[in-house]
Amino acid sequence: MAKQLPFSSMSLAALGLLCAGAAVAQPRPATPPAAPAAPAAPAAAAAAAPERTVSQYGDWSLTCVQAAGQPRRCEVGLQLQDQQRRLGAAVAVGRISRETPMRLVVVVPPNVRVATPLRLVLEPNEATSLPFAVCTNNSCVAELEMRDEVLVRRLRNRAAENPGRLEWKDAGGNDVTLPLPVRGFSAAMDALGREPG
């Protein structure tokens, strides 16, 4: 039986920032110090908060975030729980812009053997490897650039009653496995395709 690990909560909005990388976190130009400002009115503070929408499609959701002056960023994703109903992984599929390739990003607990890539298994003897890109104290991120989108088509065409699975090794070398449901994936991707930008 695969060992299951605790995982600190991570929202799909945070996953979106990981997908977008440095393109989202643009440095602001330095400005000279100004006189202290009066506290912002509640309406002004609410207007500055990013707008976030979530639409559910089966097990998958389409999450879009738009900050003032920034393009709208959308991704398809889901959160997976282990047998103890703890968050075991977060998965997102999206792109920074229509001109860039689709990316698959999986965030798992930090206790991983990073030398062994995470695997997405859709067929018994066939797996797609996602190398670990970065680990922090809270999580490890595995990602794959999907230039030809074959993997997206395979997930779209998979029957809902036939989920895939994610596999990785923890730091002790134990196998960790989570099922990857596909119910609603195709509809969520269709919705993502209708988003501008």
Per-residue pLDDT band at 6 (split at 50, 70, 90): very low
* Cα angle 77-150-126, degrees, rounded to a multiple of 5: 90
So what CATH class is 12-19+50-193?
mainly beta
Mean pLDDT in residue range 140-156: 92
Q: Give the gyration radius of the chain's Cα atoms.
A: 19
Q: Which of 128, 109, 139 is nearest to 17 (CA)?
A: 139
Q: How many CB atoms lie within 10 A of CB 51?
A: 11
Encode pLDDT of 24-75 as tens digits: 222 333 333 344 444 445 555 555 678 999 999 999 999 999 988 888 899 9
Backbone angles phi, psi at 134, to 5 degrees: -160, 150
pTM above 0.85, yes or no: no
Residue 129 · residue 142 · CB < 8 Å: no
Domain chopping of the chain, boundaries: 12-19+50-193
Encode pLDDT of 91-133 as tens digits: 999 988 888 899 999 999 999 999 999 999 998 888 999 999 9
